[in-house]
Each structure stands twice: as structure tokens, then as C-alpha cells.
Structure 1
Amino acid sequence: MLRILYQQAEAKDELVRIANRTSHDVAVEQEATVKEIVSAVKESGDQAVLAFTKKFDHQDLTSDQLRISAAELDAAYQQIDQSLLQAIQLASKQVEAFHRQRTPKSWVQFGDNDVVLGKRYTAVDRAGLYVPGGRASYPSTVLMNAIPAKVAGVPRIIMVTPTGEAQKINPAVLVAAQEAGIEEIYRIGGAQAIAALAYGTETIPAVDVITGPGNIYVTLAKKMVYGRVGIDSLAGPSEVLIIADESADPAHVAADLLAQAEHDPLAAAILLTPSKDFAKAVQTEVSKQLQGHPRQELTEKAIAHYGIVVVVDSLEDAAELSNLFAPEHLELEIDEPWELLPQIRHAGAIFLGHSTPEAVGDYLAGPNHTLPTAGAARYASALGVETFMKHSSIIQYSEKALRNVGDAIQSLAQAEGLASHAESVRIRVEKKPKG
């Protein structure tokens, strides 16, 4: 049952506990395994990838079978409903339109003092996208990772995803990839897929950036290869925090809480409300909606361990507790959400009003659904076009401009004991005697 808390101090302790539910201490026993996988793939390439795929995913593949064929890509369109295809196409259009508005622009500023400064944005050469698979289907994850890379202008985008039965990839995932402009797809998953993307193999090219969520082995592998490649984040289990008052419908709020809890036994579902009656109504509704739920056992575990309702004194107190938790998803199911919004400092994505469930953002609103978890919203942001780009500074000084600041540069260089730094300026600004 969803627990109700009435004490502020107890609520803070619970929020801290939930935020720390995926502490790296939990993963210590898996680190040795992941380190072995990454090292083996780095040294042995395809041979190691195929061996670990057989060991962990029970798929006996050859190097020639790793890449999804053109025929399999074409066939995927015949294997999904027309309504699903239209939904994928609509989501693709919405997500692309949003991310095109966020593309960083290069700029150059010509100053009056003969100084030119600027910033130049360029895409990485190759991006690797990890999409969870097996028995599950996540076409939305494909779109949310692939489209920003495409908008950024990445010339080559490689996708990896584990197979299900009979070495097949869910056709909805293959269709989503093609709608997003990806046709280079490999049927591997786990830590071995991350290592293959980071170091390259005989079949799979090395990339510059790896994005996409996965299990603890995938997350640890991304952590280990960071530095060799860039990564989006170390994503943890999903979470939602809802601030609601009595203007909200308890059934709507309960459904939104369960929408997160059904992801994973570690998913967090939190409600903050100033109304005791509303808290009890949501508690009752959650229990009701759990009956006969398609993923009842999993969802009940998440609610039992990481689901709470906190009765607060005011919406302002709710905002403070939300900032403490820094949720991945924050719903403001209150009468005047825009009035409370300025008090929200930390959240991955914010959903305003009674008609904006978090599922809207998961699928086709446009903003990315790959968001910081476990309190990382305090300093991190959603995956976006910027994830696949880097910027270079542009600097040009004329002789006059360098002469104007030459003494200052030399003083700073000498203070740091870097004689050649100072000399590189001095020989330019001081006139050489004629010989």
C-alpha cells in the first residue's frame, strides 16, 4: 500500500533514502564482471562480443549476423499496425521540431579593439545509441536518442540493441530507427555492446559519444569507458514527484504514480499534497488501480518500497521538498501551476496542469525523455542536441591588440613561473633591433 507521511522530518529522510536507492555500493559485486567484459572486448573485439552475447543473452551469433540486414529493416514496416506507424511518425516530427529549436549556433564577435572572439559548434563524427531490448519494445527511446543526434548533424549514427527470441529485434524499434534516419543497427546489448562502441571491433565502429539507458551492467560499462568516449549520463530507475491540491482528480494522480512504478521495482512514485483527504483518496485509488494490473507484482514492489505520499503544510513547502529530491519528472497538478513554477529550482522535466500527464513527455510532446535521475537534476539536464556537439573557442588578436595587453599577459605568466609563455608574447610586442 502507498504510505502516507505527516511529519516533515520523516518525509525528508524518506526522500533522501529514495534518492539514494541506487547507490554505487549496490553495484560493487557487478563491477568486476563489467571490467572483465570491457577489457575482453577491447582486446579481442568481435570474438569477445559474440562470446558474452552467447553467455548472457543466450544468442549464438556470428560476426556476419551482428548487423541488421536491409531485408529485416524493410520487413519491419509490414509487421506493425498502421496506427503505430502513424504514432511513430507523429512523435518523430514533434521531437525533431523541438530539438531544431535548441540547436546551438556558432557566433563570432568583432570588437572595436581589433580582437575577434567567438564560439564554433561542430557535431561529433560518430554517435552510438544504446536501446534496451530483448522482450521489451522501446521505439520512443530510439526517437529520443537518434533525433537529437541527427539534428546535431552527426554524420554516422550507430545503434545497438539486444535481440529477443530467434535473434529478432522488435519491428517497432526498427521502424522508429528508420524514421529517425538510422539504418546501421547491431543486434547486441549489455556491457559488451557499450565496450564495442567505445573501442570498436572488426565489425562495429568505435564512436565518440554513447547515449541511451540500460541495466546496471550497461550503466557501469558507460561509467568505465567515459573518458575514452563521451556519455549522456549514468541513468538510474525512473521517478516521478507530483505536487497536487484538491483541484486534481485522485484517479488521475494515482494513474500517474503507477505509470512510473510500472517501469521497474526500483522506480519511485511520490506525491506531495497539502490535503489529508486528498492523500487518502489517492492512496485508495492506487490500491484500486493495482488490482488486475498487467504488471501488478513489479508495480506493487515499487509502490511498497519507493512510493510515498507526504502531507505538507503548504504548496511552498511542497516545492522545497521537491527541490530537495530534484526529481526526474515533476508534475504540478494544482489549480495555478504557473504561480508555483518560479519556486521550482531542480527538475528534469516539469509538467503543468491537470491535462499534462508525464506520458505526454515520454512519447511525443517534443522535449527529450532522457532525463537526470537520482537527484542529478540539481546539476544536469535532459539529453539534447548539445550532447552530440562540442564547441571550439575562436580567438584572433591584431598586433595592436596584443601590444595593448602584452604586459598583463607577461605578468601573469611570470607569476606562474612559465617563462616561455611570457617570452611568446614579449618577442611579438617588442620591436627587434635592426641588424
Structure 2
Amino acid sequence: MMSNTRLFYLFQLQLKHQASEAEKAELMNLLGDPENEEEAKELLGEAWKDFEPSTAVFTPVKSKQLLENIFQAGRTEEELPVHQPKRWLAIVAAAAVLLLISAVALFYYSNYSDQENLAGQPAEMAGTTAIHDVEPGGNKAVLTLADGTRIALDEVSNGKIANQSGISITKAADGQLSYTIKEGQDQQNETSQINTISTPKGGKYQINLPDGSKVWLNAASSLKFPTRFSEEERKVELKGEAYFEISKQHSRSGRQPFKVITLADNGRSQEVEVLGTHFNINAYGNENAMRTTLLEGSVRVTNLSSKASGLLTPGQQAILKNDRIKIATADLEEVMAWKKGNFLFNNLKLTDIMKQLERWYNVEVDYAHIPDTRYHGFISKDVTLSQVLDMLELTGSLKFKIEPAPDGKGKKIEIE
């Protein structure tokens, strides 16, 4: 690729955020010139390679597909008659160059007629009012001990916060809660007690259980667990969503299974049994199904109502809906996006997107006028609510407002 062209020079300025308004306008014109199409595609491809590692979300295959979607977003045979210049890169420039370089987000939109547009730009360029903006969530949780004592983990100092029956409970600086069995403690004479860790809307937290297993809780979720597991099995109860990395344990009778019971408010319930594995469970009461996704090892998912069960292998997902379990191939990138601090939507309905925003930003949503619109997109969960809504607005079909909630105690998203 030639590196002494005007296009290359202006593109590098934009990469460094040093381009003036006049130089940006010139860059857009050069990118829109059909004679520069090949060079522009090379420049965009190289920029995407630099951008991709920082996302830590896309596989090489998905990354390539996403870049192709960018290149194809503005060009169709119907829109580009032979006698007209092909200025498709003007769309790519506005939506990809300024966006990728800023590493803020990437959105492209599709409706049921399979029309697709590309939308996305730095938040400061977008138009949703931020008067009532909402900051992103963070490490927030409440630990409830067996005696009813409630400890707000985001408010207490780091270090040891409690002792229970030979178990030391410690909060680390990076937002982790650890249960550690004290050395030399006679475990036979100690009684197990039940604790619960709960994240509010706008919260997340990691807990290290006494057996060495690790659990990451998503927003509006809770995990009930014993301070000491029995010899026969290890059992916890989950509401909401969590990612598990289970340590392998052995008892006198052999390997000690780990069971997760999920009880949703809508009456849906299941049991996930594992030995040593990595998996994610989404069991929110307002979702239309429970989803258990396996990343490593093996798990058995059982519907506690019908007793129907299914065995998962890595890359599969068990979907519990209407008392039936369906096993399907999982989109691991989408499933794990929340744990990596991102929103990732693959052909997701706006209603389902709003549910995620409700939980992460602790807001209400007016669902009265939500169309059956689907989105493909990626954005960090570290941005404000208005920045996410600005990205959605760039599709041009909807407008969002953040208003005070009717009770005056929070915020509400209204859709126009």
C-alpha cells in the first residue's frame, strides 16, 4: 500500500485524533472517491486489525464478517446504477473510520425486511439529551449473613469483613469476595451456614467460594450458598445471571458434584449438575427462557418440573422454555460479553436490549411503543446510558428520552 498519498496522511492524522475539521472533511471526500476505493479498504482493514484486540470479544472469523458488513453496508446494486459514481465509502467513512478509530462502539441495524444500515460514531457527536443521564453500573453487592446481618460490599473497606464458623470472609481491592477456611480449623465440628450475595440493578460482583470455585454475578442477581459444602454434594441457588468456574473436588465416595438450582419468579426452575467446568446461566424472571451455556467440561441440565434433562458439551446451550429443554449451538461471544464488560447484540430485539439496559443502568423502560426492531451491535458497558441510546438513535428510526421516573426516585427511558 502506498504510504505517501494525501489519503494516507489524512487517515493517519485521524487515527491520532489530530485532524482539523477541514482535514476531516477532506478525508471524507477522498474516501468517497471511487478511484480511492482499494486504498481506502486497505486503510480500513489495517485500522480494524488495530482496533480488534482491544475489544477482546470477536473471534477472527466474526471480526472478518463484521468488517465485511461495514464494507457492504452502504452499497447495493439497486442503489448504485452503472451511470452513477459509487460513493459507498462515504457511509463507511462516517460510520467506520471515525468510529473504529475512537473505539467507542459499532452498531449496524436491521429490520424485518432485512434492510441493513450502519450506525455508530463517538458519543460526543450524537444527539440524545444527557440532562438526565445515567452512569454505568459497577462493583456493587450486598452480602447477607446467616444471622441476617447485611453488608454493603461497595461501602466497606478492603480486608477481612466477617468470620463465620471457621470461615474467613475477605474483600479484595479488585472487587472480589473470598471465603477461606482457616488453617487448622476442625471442620467436623463446624456447622454450615447459609449466606446470600445479591447485586442490585447497576451492580456486578465476583465471589470465590470455600471450595475454590469462582462465580461472577451479573446485575440484579443473587446467589445463595453454604459457608461449608457437605461431603456428598455442593449446592447453590441462583436468581438472575452468573458465570461459574467450578473447581474439581473429591470426597470419600468419589468426585463431589456441584449443583446450581435456578428458581425464576415466573415459576420456571432447573438444576445444573457439574463436576469441574466453566458455564454461564441466564435465569432472569423477565426473560422468556432459562439459558445454560457450557464453555468447558460437561454439565447436565434438568427441568425440575418435568424431570426432562439434557447433557451439554462445550459450545452448546440448554434452553428451558415451556417445560421443555432444547439444546442448541451457543453464540459464546454474545453469552460472555457481559462478563467482559460489553454489550453484544446479535440480531437482538429492542425489547431484549432494553431489559439489559434496565438491569445495568437501574432504570425503568416504557415498553408501550417498542417496535419489533432487531439490532446487531457492540458497545462497552463503561459508557453512560445516553451514549448507548445515541448509538441506537443513529439508525434514524427511533428517538429516546431519559426522564425522571414517575415515583421521582430514578430514571425512565421513553421511546418515541
- With normalisation by structure 2, the TM-score equals 0.28
Q: Which has the higher helix share?
A: 1
- With normalisation by structure 1, the TM-score equals 0.28
Q: Which has the higher strand share?
A: 2
